[in-house]
Structure 1
Amino acid sequence: MRAKRAPPQRAHGAPNRVRIIGGQYRRRLLEFPDGAGLRPTPDRVRETLFNWLGQDLPGWVCLDLFAGSGALGFEAASRGAGRVVMIERDPKAIGALEKNRATLGAGQVDILRADALAWLANSRETFDLIFVDPPFDSGLAGTLLAELARHLESGGQAYIEQAAPVVAPAGLIIHRSGRAGRSHFALLVKE
C-alpha cells in the first residue's frame, strides 16, 4: 500500500498565505482569501523575476493588474518602489490587500477596485514596471499584451504569467522567459 501524499503547503504550512522574499518586508506573511483562479506567484518564480530585475526597484512606479494576493506588488514595494498601483475587482481580495497594506505600513501602495481591462483602457498613466498575472487559464494576459506598450515608460518592463507561452506584441521584446509547472512567465521590455 502506498503512503498518501500530503497536500501542497504554502508559506509556513498555512493555506492562503504567501511570504515576501526580499527587501524591507522580507519574511512578512500576506494573507489572502480563497478565490477562483487566485494563486500567488510561487516564491521560486518571484525570486527569478526579481533577480532579472536587479533586486531593488528604487523609486520605480509599478502597476499590479489582477493583484489578487498582492504578492508581486507588495514584493515591489518591499524592494523600494516609489509607488505601486494594485488593480483588483474582488471585494474579498480588496479587503485582504488593504489589511496587508496596513499591517506592512506600505503607504506607497494604492489599491483600486476596478476591472483590469477597463481600467487599463481608460488610463493614461505610464509605469516603469507592469505585472500581469490574471486568473490562470483565463487568457486575459494575451488580451492585454497589445495595450501594455503605451502604458510603459521608455525602457519600461512588463512581467507576464499565464498558462500558454508568452508571445511579444509589437513594441515589446521578450528579455527573459521561463516555465514553472504549467505556468509560463516572461519579462518583456519596451523597445
Structure 2
Amino acid sequence: MRIIGGKLKGLRLNPPKNLPVRPTTDLAKEALFNILQNQIAFEDIKVLDLFSGTGNIAMEFASRGAEKVTGVDRAIQCVHYLKDASRQHGLTQIEVFKADVFKYLAMETEQYDLVFADPPYDLNKIPEIPKIVFEKNLLVEGGMLIVEHQSMQNLSNHPSFVEQRKYGHSSFSFFKA
C-alpha cells in the first residue's frame, strides 16, 4: 500500500499483518482518486471514512489537503495503527474513533463533503449505508457517498445512486446529495 498523491505521495504504508482488514488495492484506489480529482477539490473538504481499517483512504485524503478526515472502525488494532501513522506523518487533520459504524452513524449529526465506506464484503447490511447517510442528512448539498463492495452486488436501487465502477472483484458505487 502506498499514498498515491499529495504531500505524502509515494509513501509506503506497512500496517501489521494481523489487522482484520481487506485494504482497497492500489489499482482500485488510483482509479477512484483519478475519478475524484476531476469532480472535487480535495483542499478544505470534510471526509468521513467508515470501516477505515488501515486508514489507507483516510491518509490519502489527508495527504491531498482535506481539512478534516474522520475515521471509524471497530477494531482497536486498526484505530491504533491509523492514529500512530497519522501522528508519525504529521496528518493532524485525521481523527479516529473506535466504534461500530452503524451505531456511530445513528448518533452522527455533522455533515461531510464526502463519505467513503469500505465495509467487509460479507456484511449483509451494506445496502443500509446509503439509506442511513441520506436519512440522517450527513452530506452537504452536492456531497458524495462512495461505497466499496463486491462487483456482483448492486446498490443502484437507491434514489441518490449515480453510477457503479467495477475494478475486478471490487466496485465503487457513487451517490450524490
TM-score, normalised with respect to structure 1: 0.83
Q: Deviations over 1:80-103 (max 9, x none)?
A: 100000001111111111111012
Matched, 1:182 2:175: no
Q: Which residue of 2 aligns with 1:99?
A: 84
Choose the corresponding residue for 1:51, options 34, 52, 77. Answer: 34
Q: Which residue of 1 aligns with 2:145?
A: 158
Q: Secondary structure at the match of 2:126?
A: helix
Q: Deviations over 1:63-113 (max 9, x none)?
A: 000000111111111111000000011111111111110121100000111
Deviation at 1:141, TM superposition (A): 2.3
Structure 1 residues 178, 118: CA separation in 2 closer, same or farther (over 3 Å shift)?
Answer: same
Q: Is the 8 A contact 2:114 2:143 kept in 1?
A: yes
Give the Cα–Cα distance (whole angstroms) in 2 for the partners of residues 23 and 165 of structure 1. Answer: 32
Deviation at 1:168, TM superposition (A): 4.8
Give the Cα–Cα distance (whole angstroms) in 1 for the partners of residues 34 and 25 of structure 2. Answer: 14
TM-score, normalised with respect to structure 2: 0.89
Matched, 1:167 2:156: yes
Q: Percent identity?
A: 31
Q: Deviations over 1:17-73 (max 9, x none)?
A: x1111111111122323244x111111111121122116501000000000011111
Q: Is the 8 A contact 1:97 1:111 kept in 2?
A: yes
Q: Which residue of 2 aligns with 1:9?
A: none
Q: Which residue of 2 aligns with 1:108?
A: 93
Q: Secondary structure at the match of 2:65?
A: coil
RMSD of the TM alignment (CA)? 1.5
* Superposition map of 1:1-80 within 5 A: 18-33=1-16, 34-36=18-20, 38-54=21-37, 56-80=41-65
Equivalent residue letter for 1:113: K
Q: Secondary structure at the match of 2:154?
A: coil
* Deviant stretches of 4+, over 6 Å: none
Report how many aligned residue pairs link the two structures: 170
Choose the corresponding residue for 1:131, options 116, 130, 133. Answer: 116
Q: Which residue of 2 aligns with 1:13?
A: none
Give the Cα–Cα distance (whole angstroms) in 2 for the partners of residues 78 and 140 of structure 1. Answer: 30
Structure 1 residues 126, 40: CA separation in 2 closer, same or farther (over 3 Å shift)?
Answer: same
Q: Is the 8 A contact 1:130 1:157 kept in 2?
A: yes
Equivalent residue letter for 1:122: M
